[in-house]
Chain A
Amino acid sequence: MAKEVGADRLGDFYIDGGKVRKRREWRGVSDTLYDYSRWLKIMMTLGKFIAKPRNIKAMFRYRWMANYLAVPMMVDRHTQGLRGEYLRICHEEQDLIIDDVAQLLENLFRGDRRIGNDTEFSKKVVLVDENEMTAVMMGFPTLKCLSRETPSTYVSVLLNQHAAEHYIDVAQEFGLAGDVCPMPEAEAGVSIDDDAPVLGACAIQCNTTCDGSLLGNGVISRRLEKEDGISVFQLAAPLRHQEDDVQDYAAQEIRNAIAFIEQHTGVKWDWNAYFECAKRVNYATRCRQEWLEMNRTDYPQVFGSNLALYTETNYMAICGRIPAFEKADRNITRLARQAFEKKKMAAKEYRHRAIIWGVQSHYYMDFLVWLLNCWGIVPLTDMLSMVSTRELKETDTPENRETAYYDMAWLTENMIMRNRTHGGYKVLLDELWEYVEQFNADMVILWEHMSCKALDGMHGLFEERARERGIPLVWVTHDLFDPRIVSRQGVRDQINSYMRTVMREEPLDPSLEVLNDEESW
């Protein structure tokens, strides 16, 4: 029960083998009342959501909806140990993401043939992948760009570590390979299990990151096109995205996708809306660069899951289309500057400055907070947050309209994760070590997503480079969506044993070293 950062034994909040925590943290009067007020706001958002009969109907129809019982706990996991500006930054982001997902769910169920069956609304819906830049929707302000996979799998696993297991098993029961990435496999499982809302005028799928992703899209589009009568456009963005010779092709794919949407919805592309969105994308980029600039100093401010989760959402899923995120960018920057001026720290001691590379374990997104609280390791930035910083053209001229196709293509090619796992040696391997220098990092934590062939193939090269530079590199193996393969404690154990045996250190908070949270949400 302490106001000071790092004074609590955070492991004591866990119930041994339990699903939820014993109680919430006392963070001093001001921070506790702030956290309580944000909790009330979340409860109101959830209350408003379940007040609608069609949402209740959906709750009893879709298995993945049960995970939304855990929304407040997801926020608690990410705010663990935080005080002052860090707590406020986290809430600024998480609460906005909760509002945005609630709105997404409402729209999905409104148009869903099984639930709301609002056919006029459904005609204005364009379905997109979860793992896809929504740049091609920037010029369609009157259409609804909705992803079914975001709430059914992506957010679900953030809420409940076990959320995808049922769908992974369903996909494998139907003969899909067990060694592909469990994310697209779970998405395919949702479709096979007849558990995806059915709506929309058309859909855009993207050859996002990997073979598994293409496999999942194939299963999903087959059902969409052949049974639900929803046409699907396959947006094939070049994988060699750093090469100049692919950019004309990439821009043409964007023109084709836009023409496809116009044809199926009857709505014309709006350049004014596009350039408005482009301004917001540029603003978000400038803010993110400022945060990363602060993280290069001794007083990093927006880092860990505060950086990772928000960047994924804002860069990829929002893409300038929702003005509320611009306001959040401004507020986060203001809070970060304030804390930076006061030289504030998020933990009582910073022992190591780490770059987190690779694809993070989705069922343990709050691992970054754990690293800080347990071992004093500051996750300065992560691979998925190091996305494009190219400024988009934002004034409406004939030349800029032409360039805009290239800008949208560039964003689509440089989707989160895809911009590193594809594009060659430089973006995945070389740039990691450039960031190590730029951020003055003394450690690299390398997620080894065991089903990700694109990354696993480079294992030895990462080790070689780390040895050359004398930088401690810690491998952390996981299976992205499936904690049955490597549990959360299994993830923690890999850090614990490295820190104790190689670094010869003791944890900052020993109560967090071993936690029986296998049954936890």
Chain B
Amino acid sequence: MKKSLKLLGVLLLICSGFFIVTFTVYIFNLDMKLTALIEPFLLKHYDKIERDRHL
């Protein structure tokens, strides 16, 4: 009984932690703020790729 209560507590803690972290990311738009930082590096990378450009 004690063990299952403890397990339930841990599970609740994990779920709450997951919710707090993901909801913070969601509401403050942190996911988009992060990907906006990544984009310029990707664009530089694409410029370096050799391509067979022609009509």
Binding site for B on A (CB under 8 A): 19-24, 26, 32, 36, 39-40, 43, 59-61, 63, 66, 69-70, 72-73, 76, 170, 174-175, 192-195, 219, 222, 521
1/0 per position for B42-55, CB-CB distance to A under 8 A? Answer: 11011001011111
> Across the interface, which residues of A come within 8 angstroms of B23, CB to CB?
36
Contact B31 A23 (CB under 8 A): no
Chain B contacts with A in 1-55, Cβ cutoff 8 A: 22-23, 26-29, 31-33, 35-36, 38-39, 42-43, 45-46, 49, 51-55
Contact A194 B52 (CB under 8 A): yes
Contact B31 A192 (CB under 8 A): no
> Across the interface, which residues of A come within 8 angstroms of B43, CB to CB?
63, 66
Contact B27 A23 (CB under 8 A): yes
19 A-B Cβ contacts within 8 A? A19-B39, A21-B29, A23-B27, A23-B28, A24-B27, A24-B28, A24-B29, A32-B27, A43-B31, A59-B42, A66-B43, A66-B46, A69-B35, A76-B29, A175-B55, A192-B54, A193-B53, A194-B51, A521-B36
Contact B55 A219 (CB under 8 A): yes
> Across the interface, which residues of B come within 8 angstroms of A36, CB to CB?
22-23, 26-27
Docked Cα-Cα span, A170 to B55, in Å, equals 10
Contact A72 B32 (CB under 8 A): yes
> Across the interface, which residues of B come within 8 angstroms of A193, CB to CB?
51, 53
Q: Smallest distance from the beta carbon of A2 to chain B beta carbons, Å?
A: 14
> Across the interface, which residues of B come within 8 angstroms of A23, CB to CB?
27-29
Contact B29 A20 (CB under 8 A): yes
Docked Cα-Cα span, A60 to B28, in Å, equals 28
> Across the interface, which residues of A come within 8 angstroms of B49, CB to CB?
61
> Across the interface, which residues of A come within 8 angstroms of B55, CB to CB?
174-175, 192, 219, 222
**Which of B26, B35, B46, B53 sits near A70, CB closer than 8 Å?**
B35
Docked Cα-Cα span, A21 to B33, in Å, equals 8
Q: Smallest distance from the beta carbon of B2 to chain A beta carbons, Å?
A: 33
Ordered nearest first, which 5 A-B pairs have the shortest CB separation? A69-B35, A20-B32, A194-B51, A63-B46, A19-B36
Contact A170 B31 (CB under 8 A): no
Total residue contacts A-B, CB cutoff 8 A: 65
> Across the interface, which residues of A come within 8 angstroms of B38, CB to CB?
69
> Across the interface, which residues of B come within 8 angstroms of A43, CB to CB?
31
Contact A70 B45 (CB under 8 A): no
Contact A192 B53 (CB under 8 A): yes
> Across the interface, which residues of B come within 8 angstroms of A60, CB to CB?
42, 45
B41 nearest in chain A by CB position: A66
Q: Smallest distance from the beta carbon of A148 to chain B beta carbons, Å?
A: 16
Docked Cα-Cα span, A61 to B50, in Å, equals 10
> Across the interface, which residues of B come within 8 angstroms of A39, CB to CB?
26
Docked Cα-Cα span, A68 to B43, in Å, equals 13
> Across the interface, which residues of A come within 8 angstroms of B54, CB to CB?
174, 192
Docked Cα-Cα span, A20 to B36, in Å, equals 7
A219 nearest in chain B by CB position: B55
With A20-B32, A23-B29, A36-B23 known as contacts, the answer to whether A66 contacts B52 (CB < 8 A) is no
Docked Cα-Cα span, A19 to B38, in Å, equals 12
Q: Smallest distance from the beta carbon of A197 to chain B beta carbons, Å?
A: 14
Docked Cα-Cα span, A194 to B27, in Å, equals 39
Docked Cα-Cα span, A146 to B4, in Å, equals 51
Q: Smallest distance from the beta carbon of A206 to chain B beta carbons, Å?
A: 21
> Across the interface, which residues of A come within 8 angstroms of B51, CB to CB?
193-195
A21 nearest in chain B by CB position: B29
Q: Smallest distance from the beta carbon of B20 to chain A beta carbons, Å?
A: 12
